[in-house]
């Protein structure tokens, strides 16, 4: 039976990686958990036979889906206590060779989608004077390495946003935590990573070399 006093978790990007592993832990503890993915069939197994788990379709770049998902969670569980902004992916390119469409698409997911999710849960948390927002950023939120300039920029944006939100939320009982992982054995360096290969010889020992190294350590982090 679900503990009615247990924290209600809402986690984005639960199909693989950190999102899925965290969801498994909260579910095992019996905590009400909203698991989301761009196709909820990819997280349906997490909810099967469990009344305390709600699986939802959620593309964080789709503002209607963001609003609908938060509303569905609040209807089922009455509130959202913890939001985990995990959805996102990596993009590698030299700065010069970065592609506009790819850069903007990544920022839509990593930055603007995270912003939208946060705005959507804040009214409920503010009303209850309680909540915790966990943003999965990256060590790239502190530094920019060759080929990861645009990815690092997206994570730096989340860090700055989180700092401001922490100040605004503190008097309202809303906490903010950034989690900044280094390399882990998730899909980040595989299916979830997009690259624009460098063809300019001048970047062969910087951006191109690091893109090659990233592909090489996949599964061995």
Sequence ranges of the domains in the chain:
9-216
pLDDT at residue 95, as a whole number: 96
CATH class for the region spanning 9-216: alpha beta
Could you give the count of Cα atoms lying within 13 Å of 84 in the half-sphere of its Cβ? 23
Query: From the candidates 150, 151, 203, 217, which is the catalytic residue?
Result: 151
For residue range 156-209, what is the model confidence (pLDDT) as tens digits? 999 999 999 999 999 999 999 999 876 654 555 456 688 899 999 999 999 999
For residue range 8-49, what is the model confidence (pLDDT) as tens digits? 999 999 998 899 999 999 999 999 999 999 999 999 999 999
Phi-psi region of 62 (alpha: psi -120 to 50; beta: other; left: phi over 0): beta
DSSP state of 93: B
Question: Is position 203 annotated as part of the catalytic site?
Answer: no
Distance CA 135, CA 161 (A): 10
DSSP state of 148: B
Predicted confidence band of residue 143 (pLDDT cuts 50, 70, 90)? confident
For residue range 69-121, what is the model confidence (pLDDT) as tens digits? 999 999 999 999 999 999 999 999 999 999 999 999 999 999 999 999 999 99
Strand order in the sheet with 9-11: 53-57, 33-37, 9-11, 82-85, 131-136, 174-179
């Amino acid at each position: 039976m679900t503990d009615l006093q247990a924290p209600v978790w809402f986690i984005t990007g639960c199909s693989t990686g950190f999102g899925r592993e965290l969801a498994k832990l909260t579910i095992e503890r019996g905590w009400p958990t909203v698991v989301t993915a761009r196709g909820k069939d990819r997280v349906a197994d997490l909810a099967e036979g469990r009344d305390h788990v709600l699986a939802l379709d959620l593309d964080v770049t789709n503002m209607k889906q963001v609003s609908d998902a938060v509303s569905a969670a609040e209807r089922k569980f009455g509130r959202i206590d913890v939001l985990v902004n995990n959805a996102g992916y990596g993009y590698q390119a030299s700065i010069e060779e970065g592609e506009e469409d790819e850069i903007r698409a990544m920022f839509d997911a990593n930055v603007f989608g995270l912003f939208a999710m946060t705005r959507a849960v804040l009214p409920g948390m503010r009303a209850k004077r309680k909540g915790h927002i966990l943003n999965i950023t990256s060590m790239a939120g502190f530094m920019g390495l060759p080929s990861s300039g645009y990815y690092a920029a997206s994570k730096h944006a989340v860090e700055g946003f989180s700092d401001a939100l922490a100040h605004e939320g503190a008097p309202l009982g809303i906490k903010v935590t950034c989690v900044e992982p280094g390399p882990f054995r998730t899909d980040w360096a595989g299916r979830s990573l997009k690259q624009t290969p460098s063809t300019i010889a001048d970047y062969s020992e910087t951006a191109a070399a690091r893109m090659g190294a990233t592909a090489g350590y996949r599964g061995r982090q």
